[in-house]
Amino acid sequence: MRGPHNIIRLIRTGATLERTGAMKVILDAFDVGILLRVTLRSLVWPFQWLGYKGDPLMPPAPRALTALGPAYIKFGQILSTRPDVVGADMAVQLRVLQDKLPPFSMAEAKAEIQRELGMPVEKLFSSFSAPVAAASLAQVHKAHLADTGEAVAVKILRPGIEKAFRRDIDAFYFAARTIEVLSPASRRLRPMDVITHFEGVVMGELDLRLESSAAAEFAANTKDDTGFTVPQVRWHLSGRRVMTLDWAEGTGIGDNPALDAAGHDRRVLANRVLGLFLNHALRDGYFHGDMHQGNLKVDAAGDIIAYDFGIMGRIDEYTRRVYAEILFGFIRKDYQRVAEVHFEAGYVPANRDVDEFARALRAVGEPIFGMDASRISMARLLSYLFEVTERFGMETRTELIHLQRTMVVVEGVARSLDPRMNIWEVAKPVVEDYIKHSIGPKALLRDLGRTAMILSRFGPQLPRLAEEALIRLNNPAPEPKPQRRIARLSWMALGGVLVGGAMWLGQLM
């Protein structure tokens, strides 16, 4: 599927952008230079006839992306949250990609429910509305349960969406491989790994059983978060292609006039959105990975309601600590420590100069402090960050791709609510709280406890392993490698606990 035939798909992509007028709009939004602009348009102009026409009633960019398919729509959704990158007009145009796409028919929706749940819609629900939202992969209907009358949201995957998405992904793989071959310098960015990561995330979104599980876990993690709500899953009415949750009534977080009319403080909402995301990422290591305006509402009490849990992010404890130390270093303007953390984590090759890297990071961080967001060009900042990573040979960290992408989206949502918001001021108390509880004597004691629990599983075997070790000293003989490794690791871990405990006691004295 990833052969040269995908060249046609990529040519059609460029042709569609040109035919719909989106090429010029996008090049203008990104302020592309005249030479590159002329080159790109000259290459695709002869192939316009291969491009899709799209819906002529839509603006050029969403018209082209909608015609090209779900993967392109996902890309447009991300850009819709970055008015500072693509411009305010383009961002508004792209928001129709979040939940205002053309729906599929009621007959298809009811047929999907009957196939998945084994019963007709009329027996499950006393009412079943026309689609209230239609996105790239699925659409949502409002319904009332036949037995209790409670309002629920029923999400149904688009028919044939798996095949359509696979076609896009195959073309992306071909493009990534072509880029690696034609531009060896790009390999440090690991484009193939990036596409693989993107494929895994979205393919998981195409199984609503996984989304139901994600919603339940996320609700459990955030049940005590003030000002935040996650609808409950109705498991008996959910399956692979259908998912049912409690109905969430509220105002779309991207509708500023409606929020103002309802009396909500948008500055408070902006701070809450960013603070909640950082809390979920650092505290829980599990965060909503698609927090654009189309997936967030504000209820009458001012609480933020999250839904659409098809894309979730997870990062391990070690990565969370590294990420927190980097953020904390930026907040304190300790660029030397930020640079050292990058080297310690292996994000920058060891043969590079740590002091020079610290100076480059200072050039990134200093313009941010003391400025409100409206005076910061995020497009220029991201461009400079890319130059820094290229200069110091940093490879793309696939484990951080999702976190970084979501951070960009969340900041875009927050800035659309409060253009003068400063991300560092909002992040500071969250990061400081995480540092306080996760790095230091308390964290060391907790880590030692976990290590002791793991060692306790080997406790009954330690006498036998010690006896076998003494026998081998007196009568050396070949032994299976796994057994020798277990014995060595057990003694090393035990020694690590003793040394770590002594260090911790030393800090307390």
- 290 part of the active site: yes
Write a three-state SS string for 410-442. Answer: HHHHHHHHCCCCCHHHHHHHHHHHHHHHHCCHH
Q: Is the dihedral of CA 376, 417, 140, 226 positive or negative?
A: positive
Tokens matching residue 398:
């696939």
Tokens matching residue 136:
């790239």
DSSP 438-474: HSSHHHHHHHHHHHHHHHHHTGGGHHHHHHHHHHHHH
pLDDT at position 384, please? 62
Residue 215 pLDDT more than 80?
Answer: yes
pLDDT at position 408, please? 75
The mean pLDDT of 28-42, rounded to a whole number, is 72
Give exposure, 448-486, as e/b (b: 16+ Cβ within 10 Å): beebeeebeeeeeeeeebeeeeeeeeeeeeeeeeeeeee
In this predicted model, what pLDDT tens digit does every residue of 439-457 receive, in sequence order?
Answer: 666 666 666 776 777 766 6
Set 290, 308, 372, 418: catalytic member: 290
Residue 152 pLDDT more than 80?
Answer: yes
Report the DSSP beta bridge partners of residue 140: 133, 155
Question: Cα–Cα distance between 36 and 42 in angstroms, integer?
Answer: 10
pLDDT at position 503, please? 38
Q: How many CA atoms lie within 13 A of 236 on its CB side?
A: 5
Question: Cα–Cα distance between 457 and 439 in angstroms, integer?
Answer: 26
The mean pLDDT of 169-196, rounded to a whole number, is 72
User: pTM of this prediction?
Assistant: 0.70
Selected residue with higher pLDDT from 346 and 117: 117
In this predicted model, what pLDDT tens digit does every residue of 285-336 receive, in sequence order?
Answer: 999 988 888 889 999 999 999 988 988 888 888 888 888 888 788 778 888 9
The mean pLDDT of 458-484, rounded to a whole number, is 68
Question: Cα–Cα distance between 296 and 293 in angstroms, integer?
Answer: 5
In this predicted model, what pLDDT tens digit does every residue of 283-298 receive, in sequence order?
Answer: 999 999 888 888 899 9
